Amino acid sequence: MNPEHVFVCGHPALDFAATLRARRSTRFEMFGTPERLAAWYLESGVVDALAPCEQADVDRATAVREGVYSLVTARRLGSDYDAEALDLLNEAARQPSAVPQLTQAGRWTRATAQEALSTVARQAVDLLSGPDVPLLKECGNPECTRVYIDRSRGMRRQWCGMESCGNKIKAAAYRARRKSAAA
Ligand SMILES: [Zn+2]
């Protein structure tokens, strides 16, 4: 079974960091195969076409992803960056990135997995050095561990997405209330 890639975090670097799901419990890997990694690059809109991915691309991408997650978490909690995570991200960002081309049909970006990874790494650099840092928030579902940009008024958004987490938590709270009312 291939679970669908989900894009709810408000920034590609955050959606990328969230491809290891449920980090504090079951830890589910969304980049299980080179094909799943390629599907992410395409579905995220980072590229329009991709050269075939290999296992080495998965290994590189997951390493950089863990770096991004570490850096996002550090920024969110106001702690120092991990030096190794910084190296991982900056090394990826230094590589040539995917280059959009203009065609009769509009913008078209064809890339290798390495170029696509560089693009995501540069997006992470932009995010972590940009104005949205104070809006980074972890999903209120403790199982979830996605970090998203909360653009709601007063930063009152609680979940990465209603469908992915909000409804689940609300249903659990309702069941708990009903159970305690019955007792
Ligand atoms: Zn969530």
Counting the structural domains of the chain, the total is: 1
Q: Flag whether 164 is in a domain.
A: no
For residue 28, the cross-strand partners are 21
Domain at 108, CATH number: 1.10.3300.10
Q: 111 alpha carbon to ligand 1 midpoint, in Å?
A: 30
Q: Flag whether 29 is in a domain.
A: yes
Q: 76 alpha carbon to ligand 1 midpoint, in Å?
A: 16
Between CA 7 and CA 148 the distance in angstroms is: 10
Q: Flag whether 87 is in a domain.
A: yes
Q: 104 alpha carbon to ligand 1 midpoint, in Å?
A: 40
Q: Flag whether 111 is in a domain.
A: yes
Q: Is the pLDDT of residue 9 over 60?
A: yes
Q: 110 alpha carbon to ligand 1 midpoint, in Å?
A: 31
**Predicted local distance difference test score (pLDDT) of residue 2:** 67
Q: Flag whether 180 is in a domain.
A: no
Q: Which two tokens stand for residue 100?
A: 């959009």
Query: Where in the sequence is the domain holding 17, given as residue range(s)?
Result: 12-158
Q: 119 alpha carbon to ligand 1 midpoint, in Å?
A: 25
**Predicted local distance difference test score (pLDDT) of residue 67:** 98
- What per-residue string of b and e applies to 154-180 under the rule 16 or more CB within 10 Å gives b? eeebbbbbeebbbeebeeeeeeeeeee
Q: 105 alpha carbon to ligand 1 midpoint, in Å?
A: 36
Q: Flag whether 178 is in a domain.
A: no
Q: Flag whether 45 is in a domain.
A: yes
Per residue in 92-151, pLDDT (tens digit) is 999 999 999 999 999 999 999 999 999 999 999 999 999 999 999 999 999 999 999 999
Q: Which two tokens stand for residue 53?
A: 């991915």
